[in-house]
Amino acid sequence: MKQVITPQVVFTPAAKTVRIREIPGVDSFDIRNLYAIINQTTGALIYSTASATLGYTAVTADTITLEFDTTAMSSADVLQIIYEVNDQTELIQALYELIDRLAFLAGARGLLGDIRVNATGGTIGTVSTVSTVSSITSVNSLVNMAQLGTFPAQPIVPSLTNIGASQGNINNIEVTIS
């Protein structure tokens, strides 16, 4: 956010330089974040990114040599500096909050690649590979089951059906000794 700041400056009008020694909340000076310098004592705009004639001729570390002729000004003049202070504290806090709120998604990572669900019909359209299924509540219909483990399913399913029928009739068997 752009702020009007009161940094410690050394203004040398005869050399047309402004040395910005310290900016509150900023580790190092960056010319790309400087928008304007206004001499409040004279009311003159001496640097502005919005003007082709109010720029700078040189920047070395924290010293700016201005295009504007400041030789008639005084080094005691009060300067107002508009500088972009990149306070990222609020942004970082918002990102941490977002990470906390989306943490539940970590458990779902990779699921959409393995299972494609048709949400309109409530059916599973295609399953390429599922490594483990803990529990299936019920299966109403199963079509085209090729294998059950390492065995082909076609002979096993009727056999299991016959075993179930036989076990269901076990109480109806009468044993007679002759």
Question: Has residue 21 been placed in a domain?
Answer: yes
Question: Has residue 72 been placed in a domain?
Answer: yes
How many distinct structural domains can be found in the chain?
A: 1
Question: Has residue 47 been placed in a domain?
Answer: yes
Ranges in the chain, pLDDT < 70: 1-7, 23-27, 86-92, 106-128, 143, 148, 153-176, 178
Q: pTM of whole model > 0.85?
A: no
Q: How far apart are CA 32 and CA 55, in angstroms?
A: 12
Say if CB 122 and CB 60 are below 8 A apart: no
Question: Has residue 113 been placed in a domain?
Answer: no
Q: For residue 132, what are the contacts with CB-CB under 8 A and spacing of at least 6?
A: none
Closest CA to 49 of 26, 33, 70, 71: 33
Q: What is the pLDDT of residues 51-62, one digit of tens each?
A: 888 999 999 888
Please count the other Cβ atoms lying within 10 Å of the Cβ belonging to residue 98.
10
Q: Which domain holds residue 58?
A: 2-87
Question: Has residue 105 been placed in a domain?
Answer: no
Question: Has residue 54 been placed in a domain?
Answer: yes
Return the H-helix or E-strand segment holding 100: helix 89-101
Question: Has residue 102 been placed in a domain?
Answer: no
Q: What is the pLDDT of residues 85-98, one digit of tens each?
A: 766 656 667 777 88
Question: Has residue 119 been placed in a domain?
Answer: no
